[in-house]
Structure 1
């Protein structure tokens, strides 16, 4: 997560990142109402997150042609590229995290194992 913040590019809040990842990692079509329900936050909170994602061209909203009261969330090419970048950063961090985790579990020199 630190790498995401330090690099050049969009800086998303936890809520914005949750909305983004929900839209990109789950195949189904997403609506503001559905995202609010799934993430257990208010519709205005989802709207604010989508406003920011829209400013960054990471997602866009479109009126549902079958139900004009409903708003669909669509993926963008820039959003797909951002997801690839997140996956790359997380993939690079995973071996380091596993190594640090195993060092914490290993008995330290000079200590007797119980």
Structure 2
């Protein structure tokens, strides 16, 4: 049963995407790690630990822990800022870009399935929120 005012097709696309990511052969990311990942890949850089903490409204240690996990899987890389050695720059990686392409493909498939199941669903909502 849909909650009134909830863009149900978007929720279904999110659910399908998360389930597909859980089922795939690869590392699982927490919501925070996923949020940091998407902010780095979809937001304008350069990104710093301090900037990510401010943008996501979480502590710097929380960002550092998320980046530790993302770094273990080579989704991000940290480098000392050559202009300010006190600052750490967060960089994208080839493996992280591949993960983002995979996520986009999964979401595209989920959106297409949502459109087929309920014509005018996700497509109409995307048009309304554009």
Q: TM-score, normalised by structure 1?
A: 0.85
Q: Tell me whether 1:70 sits opposite 2:83 in the alignment.
A: no
Unaligned residue ranges in structure 1 (runs of 5+): 105-114
Q: Tell me whether 1:39 sits opposite 2:29 in the alignment.
A: no
Higher relative contact order (CA 8 A, sep 6+): 2
- Secondary structure at the aligned position of 1:94 is classed as helix
Q: Tell me whether 1:50 sits opposite 2:67 in the alignment.
A: yes
Return the index of the structure with the highest Cα Rg.
1
Structure 1 distance, partners of 2:35, 2:119, is 29
- Secondary structure at the aligned position of 1:47 is classed as helix
Structure 2 distance, partners of 1:78, 1:7, is 15
* Alpha-carbon offset, residue 99 of structure 1: 4.1
* Alpha-carbon offset, residue 95 of structure 1: 1.8
Q: Which residue of 2 aligns with 1:22?
A: 39
Q: Which residue of 1 aligns with 2:96?
A: 79
Aligned residue pairs total 104
Q: TM-score, normalised by structure 2?
A: 0.75
- Secondary structure at the aligned position of 1:57 is classed as coil
Structure 2 distance, partners of 1:59, 1:27, is 15
Unaligned residue ranges in structure 2 (runs of 5+): 1-17, 122-130
- Secondary structure at the aligned position of 2:91 is classed as strand
